[in-house]
């Protein structure tokens, strides 16, 4: 299980970097152009990914109070991407160094509605990585709507093939 989680965390970082490199190459106006999706803009979607990865990180690390990145200021897309990539790298590094016991550990947390849940850490890791995959798919669709023609492949299999070569 640890090897699979480690691959998935490494893949998450790689795929986030591929998609955000493209986003940063776009015109700044496109970052905040409204496109119908779960979130109204590329910026809001990437920000949500960063917030989610960070909130789950803080829960797993048993922080008492969850601190939401960028809650009080209005960071640039560059800042949001940097925050997301740093958080994704932190997940990758942590999973790589975690013991099986740490990954199997069950912890309690409250969601944003103050409901109490218990979750195994490995389930949370899978959720976080899957959540980012979901939103990367939305980003691809949003960029196609904005007229972006060349979008990098971010499939897990592409990551594995690139890793082997």
Query: Quick one: pLDDT at residue 81?
Result: 98
Q: How much is the CA Rg of the chain, to the nearest whole Å? A: 16
Query: Quick one: pLDDT at residue 42?
Result: 98
| pLDDT at 71 > cutoff 80 | no
Residue 148 belongs to a domain with what CATH number?
Answer: 1.20.120.450
Q: Which residues pair with 120 in a beta bridge?
A: 106
Query: Quick one: pLDDT at residue 70?
Result: 77
User: Which are the contacts of 112, defined by CB distance < 8 A and separation ≥ 6?
Assistant: none
State the residue range of the domain holding 142.
2-164
Query: Quick one: pLDDT at residue 16?
Result: 98
Q: Which residues pair with 109 in a beta bridge?
A: 117
Distance of CA 40 to the CA centre of its chain: 17
Domain count along the chain? 1
The single residue listed with the structure tokens 């942590």 is: 94
User: What average pLDDT does the segment 80-102 reach?
Assistant: 97
Report the helix count and the strand count for the chain, using DSSP H and E. 7, 2
pTM of the model as a whole: 0.95
Read off the tokens for 90. Answer: 């932190």
Lowest mean pLDDT segment, chosen from 9-23, 102-116, 121-135: 102-116
CA distance 2 to 54: 21
Classified as helix, coil or strand, 110 is: strand
Query: Quick one: pLDDT at residue 72?
Result: 66
CA distance 135 to 55: 16
| 49, 16 Cβ separation under 8 angstroms | yes
Classified as helix, coil or strand, 90 is: helix
User: What's the mean pLDDT when you consider all of the chain?
Assistant: 95
CA distance 134 to 143: 15
User: What average pLDDT does the segment 38-59 reach?
Assistant: 97
In tens, the pLDDT along 16-43 reads: 999 999 999 999 999 999 999 999 999 9
């Amino acid at each position: 299980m640890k090897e699979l989680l480690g691959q998935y965390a490494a893949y998450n970082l790689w795929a986030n970097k591929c998609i955000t490199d493209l986003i940063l190459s776009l015109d700044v106006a496109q970052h905040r152009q409204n496109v119908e999706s779960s979130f109204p803009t590329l910026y809001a979607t990437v920000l949500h990914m960063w917030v989610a990865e960070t909130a789950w990180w803080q829960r797993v690390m048993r922080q008492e109070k969850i601190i939401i990145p960028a809650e009080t200021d209005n960071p640039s897309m560059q800042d949001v991407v940097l925050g997301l990539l740093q958080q994704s790298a932190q997940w990758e590094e942590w999973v790589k160094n975690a013991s099986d016991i740490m990954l199997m550990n069950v912890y309690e947390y409250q969601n944003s509605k103050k409901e109490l849940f218990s979750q195994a850490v490995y389930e949370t890791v899978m959720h976080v990585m899957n959540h980012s995959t979901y939103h990367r798919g939305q980003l691809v669709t949003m960029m196609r709507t904005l007229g972006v023609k060349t979008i990098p492949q971010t499939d897990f299999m592409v990551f594995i093939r690139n890793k082997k070569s």
